[in-house]
Amino acid sequence: MFNKTVLPNGIRIITESMPYSKVASIGVWLDVGSRDEHDLNSGSAHFVEHMLFKGTEKRSAQEISREFDVLGGSANAFTSREATCLHATVMDSNLPVVVDLFIDLLANSVFAEEEIERERQVILQEINMVEDVPDDHIHDLFAALLWGKHPLGKTILGSHEIVAAMNSAKLLQYKQKYYTTDKIVIAAAGNVVHDDFVSLWQGALDTFKPSGRPALARTAPALLPADRGIYVKPLEQAHILLGTYGLSVIDEDRFGFLLLNVLLGGNMSSRLFQEIREKRGLAYSIYSYIASYSDCGYLAIYLGVDRESVNESLELIHQEISKMQKIPVSITELANARDFVKSGLFLSLENMETVMTRIARNELHFGRYIPLEEVLAAIERVSQEDIQQLSSRIFGRQGLTVAGLGPLEKTGIGSKS
């Protein structure tokens, strides 16, 4: 059963009760991420997320870690391009303890300069680690080509130079600007009694006040011409990411977009996986994925191949994309894709964290609870013609943006250093 309460200050508390479970998953979601930054504070959202765990007025960083460990279960946090989330999955009996911890982190984190300096080194190492892992780094290189100077084209972690210049005043200023009550959604799924859960938060959150400012609007990115960036690096494999603009998370055709991705490269029976890996053995890793944001999105294809196989693989990808636009998918192929997506949805109901994440994202993007039956019906309505038309809409607009990383000097697809 789903329930929602809006506190007088605007903070939303939502729950999906599953009394048969003995666990509960809790998430504190903030509608703020790396796209809400500019060139001089890139990486702030991620740095603030780290600092929330590095000491409050009544708990040291070590005490925070110890208390989360004693709870068992799992606890973590993440920053994406449009959201920041603190989350934990614990035994239902530990709900009051984890709520008290989250309240303390949100309200009382001190952002001490000595802790900032320690965490700065951790984040700089995190940046280095991503840059040393080519199948991670290629996604940042691609985003920079696709979105250009828009914040979506920046890395979530920020640059070495900006992170090195962060201090307590700058981070607290960012938190004060964006951690406002209109952007906070508290979600829980599992063995949760809604009214009892609300009461755990209500008194403490009364101190959080609305910003009193107009809502901070996001600027939609411009759609740029297709670009190409080949970054030569002495690696064993070439890592290629190519794609184009897609649909936002709220687009009415989002379920067709999801199925299009599954059919193209979203699972082991997809066209790209079968053609490039299974039939020809050109790549160990080949897949497509979609990234959808509140006002835009993209579809991308990743492959890791030997340098000698790059051009042949790219030609096969283009052929499969062309077929998707010209020839309707078969009834059986579409039915299999539907079954794949629906099975994933049903299996996700067994994971309380996934359920919690689903209701939180629905609240952030749609402002309402979306029943599973509504999603299943929308998936069933996607037709062969819808997939073909959507393929033309996505891939027929312009060429593909391509990012390549590795030993690519002699591939004939250009180079950048």
> Is 374 among the catalytic positions?
no
| Strand positions, DSSP E, 11-107 | 12-17, 23-30, 74-79, 84-91
User: How far apart, in whole angstroms, are the C-alpha atoms of residue 353 and residue 366?
Assistant: 20
- 272: phi then psi, degrees, rounded to nearest 5: -70, -40
- 13: phi then psi, degrees, rounded to nearest 5: -120, 120
User: How far apart, in whole angstroms, are the C-alpha atoms of residue 123 and residue 164?
Assistant: 10
The catalytically annotated residue of 16, 37, 49, 119 is 49
Rg for the chain (alpha carbons), in Å? 23
How many C-beta atoms lie closer than 10 Å to residue 292's C-beta? 20
- Is residue 352 a contact partner of residue 18, using CB atoms and an 8 Å limit? yes
Residue 99 Cα distances to 93, 192, 200, 206, 401, angstroms: 12, 12, 7, 15, 45
- Is residue 53 a contact partner of residue 65, using CB atoms and an 8 Å limit? yes
Closest CA to 357 of 64, 6, 83, 81: 83
Query: What tokens does 189 get?
Result: 């799924």
Closest CA to 7 of 208, 193, 175: 208
Query: What tokens does 283 get?
Result: 């790549």
Residue with the two structure tokens 């309240």: 103
Burial call 333-358: b when 16+ CB within 10 Å, e when fewer? bbebbbebbeeeeeeeeeebbebbbb
Q: Which residues are catalytic?
A: 49
